[in-house]
With several copies, the nearest count.
Chain A
Amino acid sequence: MPMPRTLWITLAVLAGLLLGVGGVTLHEARALSYLSSDPKVCVNCHIMQPQFDAWQKSSHHAVAGCGDCHLPHDFIGKWLTKALNGYHHSKGFTLQDFHEPIMIKPRNARVLQANCLRCHEDLVHDLVRTRDRSRPGDELQCVHCHASVGHGDTVGLGGPERAADLPHPARPTL
């Protein structure tokens, strides 16, 4: 695994994203994806294919793209998330060291919740209003009941075999 190059790419991705300009390596990493909100660019990584396929069949594909749900829509948060996700995703994709099936992490879950509200708060303001101020983040999570709106029923794919899967010492007898 050519570490230096990987590091270089990911650092470049970060820097590039923050500056909003691309370079050769950047382009190679398709990191430009993160400047776009076009779903197709998300599947420049085949890793995202299951979610993309499922999204196309979902109730929202006509009304919301990846970015609408997964990127914050206040200016700073948007670019910060793009940078962080860009870093995580590129790093993950390069080092192949992420958990599969991919499961949304708390930070992105909060972004998601905010986006549900962004489009639907007129409908759900009563639900939001009665939430408990004293415990931030304790409002009902839309995905508790609507986890399927983006991708239908849960999608995901287990990862390839990794050394940790094998009993130690691995002793095949065939």
Chain B
Amino acid sequence: LNIRERQSEARAPFAPLAQVTEDTTDPEVWGRNWPKEYDSYKRTALETRTTYGGHGGSEALPQEKADRDPWRTRIFAGYAFSLDYRDRRGHAYMLQDQESTKRLTKPQSGSCLHCHASVMPLYRKLGNGDAKAGMDATYKMTYQETHAQLTAMGHAHPVACVDCHEPKTMQLRVTRPAFIDGIQRLANSDAPVPQLPSVQQWRDGKRDRPYDPNLDATRTEMRSYVCGQCHVEYYCSTKMPLTFPWGHGLRARDEEQYWNETKFPDGTPFYDFEHKETGAKLIKAQHPEFELWSQGVHARSGVACADCHMPYMRDGAGKISDHWVRSPLVNINRACQTCHHVEEDEIKARVATIQNRNHELLERAAAAVTDLLDAMNAAKARGATAAQLQAAFDLQRKAQWRLDYIAAENSMGFHAPQEAAMVLGEAADYARQGQLAALRADAPAAAAAAAAARVTASH
């Protein structure tokens, strides 16, 4: 094999035309060395519409999620996400879509840029070479101030080559401190990780140094890790450094447990926002693609994000990774059919079956959570006290976390169909239990106690 390798290099010497370094965030420069990848990379600005995914390209800002589902505004009442919460677009738009969200009318942390720009040079500067320290410096800074510094340095760019590639060898690597921090938290836990063999290998080893994705991960894992730097649930505000909640595992319930055990620096219990209607302290879920993927059979079978979202494409004499990162449903022949030798229409139909089931369950869970809000408002109108509503508050937090988790995840259940259905089933169950708790909130003590008992009984 080594012979083959050397021959291969002899034939295609690695002769870069342009010099690229850790500070070369401009993809155009890299593009001189790797024009094919660069060309496909630029296509992320193009339109890619599908039933539940994709986007309309440059035509306009993507649709407000609440235009489809009014409940999406209501469940975030009193929180920035009720002001403006749209569908995603391609990588080319990640910075401008962030800049133009009305959520920025509320104060936001500088760490927002972690996943929306090529931010590493700024991190190294702020941390005098230590990127993690640099990131931790940004959370207290305002978004605007951080953005200004990044622009001044000339790095105000969407995710760029250097964010996923080591400039000398072009090897995949992860750069984002929050990911390295989070995956180490996962490695140090005892959560089962059948889909991440290198983590188990590290656990079984000497453990004389922390798990290091760039040293320990297999190439297959790296093909998902680079995406896991951003497509994950997170906490990002000026109260606490940017955090990926992986200390108990990657399932929705594991992340919930992690947040429930988290305390703010001032020692008060963690929460994202107080719901304006009910006053409950809730947690927000953001795009947990990496986490949901990890619960599916594809992850277990070693199928990486890049396999479906950056499939190889024949290009003249060579074969390259399609850097037009997009919905696989507009690229089925490359994204699916190499492994599934089934007609394109049949593959579409299989995905539709999974996504439609998931969508129906999503609306069912949303209806339950909406009924819960009505019930809690009614109870308050009857004069129920916060103390009396405590059981309802807890159930609202559980139910909304689960509803939001699958609603915020971007594959409409495809990444792990059974797991997603389970999370939505729990959401509906907890929401209805919350309604019962609200109805009973101001009932005579005895009844209330009985109710509480029954509620816990059925957790």
Which A residues fall within an 8 A CB radius of B? 1-2, 5-6, 9, 28-30, 46, 49, 74, 90, 93-94, 96, 99-101, 103-104, 110, 113-114, 117-118, 121-132, 134-140, 144-148, 152-161, 165-167, 170-174
> Is A103 a contact of B43 with CB atoms below 8 Å?
no
- Chain B residue nearest to A165 (CB atoms) is B331
B344: min CB distance to chain A, Å: 9
Which of B181-189, B275-283, B309-317 lines the interface with chain A? B309-317
A interface, over-half SS: loop
> Is A139 a contact of B219 with CB atoms below 8 Å?
yes
- 9 additional contacts (CB under 8 A) given A93-B6, A144-B302: A121-B8, A123-B319, A138-B219, A153-B339, A153-B341, A160-B315, A170-B46, A172-B42, A173-B57
Tell me if B338 counts as interface (CB < 8 A to partner A).
Answer: yes
- Chain A residue nearest to B41 (CB atoms) is A174
Contacts of A135 in B (CB 8 A): 218-219
- Top 9 A-B residue pairs of the complex, sorted by shortest distance between their CB atoms: A158-B334, A46-B317, A173-B58, A167-B47, A125-B8, A145-B338, A174-B42, A156-B338, A125-B12
B interface, over-half SS: mixed
A to B CB contacts below 8 Å, 10 in the list:
A28-B4, A113-B1, A121-B8, A122-B318, A124-B318, A145-B312, A148-B341, A154-B340, A157-B314, A167-B47
Contacts of B335 in A (CB 8 A): 158
> Is A123 a contact of B45 with CB atoms below 8 Å?
no
Which B residues fall within an 8 A CB radius of A? 1-12, 14, 40, 42-43, 45-48, 57-58, 92, 169-172, 215, 218-220, 302, 307, 311-320, 322, 331, 333-335, 337-341
> Is B2 a contact of A158 with CB atoms below 8 Å?
no
Given contacts A145-B307, A158-B313, contact A128 B8 (CB under 8 A): yes
- 8 Å CB contact of B45 from A30, A96, A159, A174: A174
> Is B11 a contact of A130 with CB atoms below 8 Å?
no
A53: min CB distance to chain B, Å: 12
> Is B48 a contact of A167 with CB atoms below 8 Å?
yes
- Chain A residue nearest to B48 (CB atoms) is A167
> Is B341 a contact of A156 with CB atoms below 8 Å?
yes
> Is B337 a contact of A101 with CB atoms below 8 Å?
yes
A155: min CB distance to chain B, Å: 8
Contacts of A128 in B (CB 8 A): 4-5, 8
Q: How far is the CA of A146 from the CA of B156 in the complex (A)?
A: 40
- 8 Å CB contact of A172 from B6, B46, B218, B317: B46
Q: How far is the CA of A25 from the CA of B58 in the complex (A)?
A: 49
> Is B341 a contact of A103 with CB atoms below 8 Å?
yes
> Is B3 a contact of A129 with CB atoms below 8 Å?
no
- Chain A residue nearest to B170 (CB atoms) is A130
- 8 Å CB contact of A49 from B46, B313, B317: B317
> Is B333 a contact of A127 with CB atoms below 8 Å?
no
Contacts of B1 in A (CB 8 A): 1, 94, 96, 110, 113-114, 117, 136-137
